[in-house]
Amino acid sequence: MKLSNVKSWKTALLISIIIPTSLLTAFTLNNLLNKPITITETTTLEATEWQIERPTYITNIWEVTNASHKSDEILVNSTIFVDDFDDDYGGGFQSLMTCLNVTASLKKGFIYNLNITFWENYEKSLIDLYQPQEETRNYELGNLTIEGWAYGLDRWWLLRGNLKCFITLKAVNHPRKIQFSMPAEWAFKSPENQTHKLEIFIEVTYFNGTTYKRLIQPYQLKIGPDSNNSFETATELSKNQTLKKLYIGGYDKNDYYKIYLEKDHSVQIYLEEETSSLAIANINISVYDPNGIEKAYKTLYPGPGPRYTNLTLITDKTGYWYIRVELGGGQCFYTLKINTTK
Ligand SMILES: [Ca+2]
Ligand SMILES: [Ca+2]
> What is the domain-level CATH number for residue 337?
2.60.120.380
Ligand nearest to the CA of 255: 2
Whether 264 maps to a domain, the answer reads: yes
- The burial class, CB within 10 Å (0-12 / 13-18 / 19+), for 8 is exposed
pTM (2 d.p.)? 0.85
Boundary of a domain, candidates 224, 255, 271: 224
Q: Are residues 295 and 188 in the same domain?
A: no
- What is the Å distance from ligand 2's center to 250 Cα? 10
Q: In what order do the strands lie in the sheet with 177-188?
A: 59-70, 74-90, 93-106, 177-188, 125-128
- What is the Å distance from ligand 2's center to 274 Cα? 17
Ligand nearest to the CA of 245: 1
pLDDT of residue 20: 41
- Residue 220's region, left for phi above 0, alpha for psi from -120 to 50, else beta, is beta
- What is the Å distance from ligand 1's center to 113 Cα? 41
In the predicted model, what is the mean pLDDT of residues 134-149?
Answer: 89
- What is the Å distance from ligand 2's center to 229 Cα? 4
At residue 275, φ and ψ (nearest 5 deg) are: -75, -10
Q: Are 45 and 57 in contact (CB under 8 A)?
A: no
Ligand nearest to the CA of 254: 2
**Of 316 and 29, which is predicted with more confidence?**
316
Q: Are residues 102 and 201 in the same domain?
A: yes
Boundary of a domain, candidates 191, 224, 257: 224
How many domains does the chain divide into? 2
Whether 114 maps to a domain, the answer reads: yes
Whether 30 maps to a domain, the answer reads: no
Look up the CATH number of the domain holding residue 209: 2.60.40
- What is the Å distance from ligand 2's center to 174 Cα? 52
Whether 9 maps to a domain, the answer reads: no
In the predicted model, what is the mean pLDDT of residues 316-337?
Answer: 96
Q: Are residues 261 and 329 in the same domain?
A: yes
Whether 2 maps to a domain, the answer reads: no
Boundary of a domain, candidates 162, 197, 224: 224
CA 76, CA 40: separation in Å to the nearest integer?
A: 19
What's the domain range around 265?
235-341
Ligand nearest to the CA of 249: 1
- What is the Å distance from ligand 2's center to 90 Cα? 27
Q: Are 326 and 261 in contact (CB under 8 A)?
A: no
pLDDT of residue 305: 75
87-103 pLDDT, tens digit each? 888 888 999 999 999 99
**Of 302 and 253, which is predicted with more confidence?**
253
Whether 120 maps to a domain, the answer reads: yes
102-121 pLDDT, tens digit each? 999 999 999 999 999 999 99
Q: Are residues 70 and 210 in the same domain?
A: yes
- What is the Å distance from ligand 1's center to 54 Cα? 8
Q: Are residues 156 and 202 in the same domain?
A: yes
- What is the Å distance from ligand 2's center to 176 Cα? 49
Q: Are residues 219 and 297 in the same domain?
A: no
Q: Are residues 83 and 121 in the same domain?
A: yes
pLDDT of residue 25: 39
CA 88, CA 67: separation in Å to the nearest integer?
A: 30
Q: Are residues 209 and 77 in the same domain?
A: yes
Give the model's confidence band at 278: pLDDT under 50 very low, under 70 low, under 90 confident, else very high.
Answer: confident
- What is the Å distance from ligand 1's center to 128 Cα? 28
Q: Are residues 210 and 78 in the same domain?
A: yes
pLDDT of residue 6: 40
Whether 21 maps to a domain, the answer reads: no
Q: Are residues 207 and 65 in the same domain?
A: yes
Whether 122 maps to a domain, the answer reads: yes
Q: Are residues 105 and 247 in the same domain?
A: no
- What is the Å distance from ligand 1's center to 255 Cα? 5
- What is the Å distance from ligand 2's center to 226 Cα? 5
Average pLDDT, the chain: 88
**Could you tell me which residues are beta bridge partners of residue 179?**
103
Q: Which residues surround ligand 1, an ion (CB under 5 A)?
A: 226, 247, 252, 255
Ligand nearest to the CA of 246: 1
Q: Does pLDDT of 1 surpass 50?
A: no
pLDDT of residue 3: 40
- What is the Å distance from ligand 1's center to 280 Cα? 14
Q: Are residues 213 and 251 in the same domain?
A: no
- What is the Å distance from ligand 1's center to 34 Cα? 53
- What is the Å distance from ligand 1's center to 55 Cα? 9
CA 326, CA 255: separation in Å to the nearest integer?
A: 7
The angle at the Cα of 58, spanning 55 to 60, to the nearest 5 degrees, equals: 85
pLDDT of residue 334: 96
215-271 pLDDT, tens digit each? 999 999 999 999 999 999 999 999 899 999 999 999 999 999 999 999 999 999 999
Where are the extended beta strands (E) located within the chain?
Answer: 39-44, 48-53, 59-70, 74-90, 93-106, 110-119, 125-128, 144-151, 163-171, 177-188, 196-207, 212-224, 235-237, 242-249, 254-261, 266-273, 281-288, 294-300, 308-314, 319-341
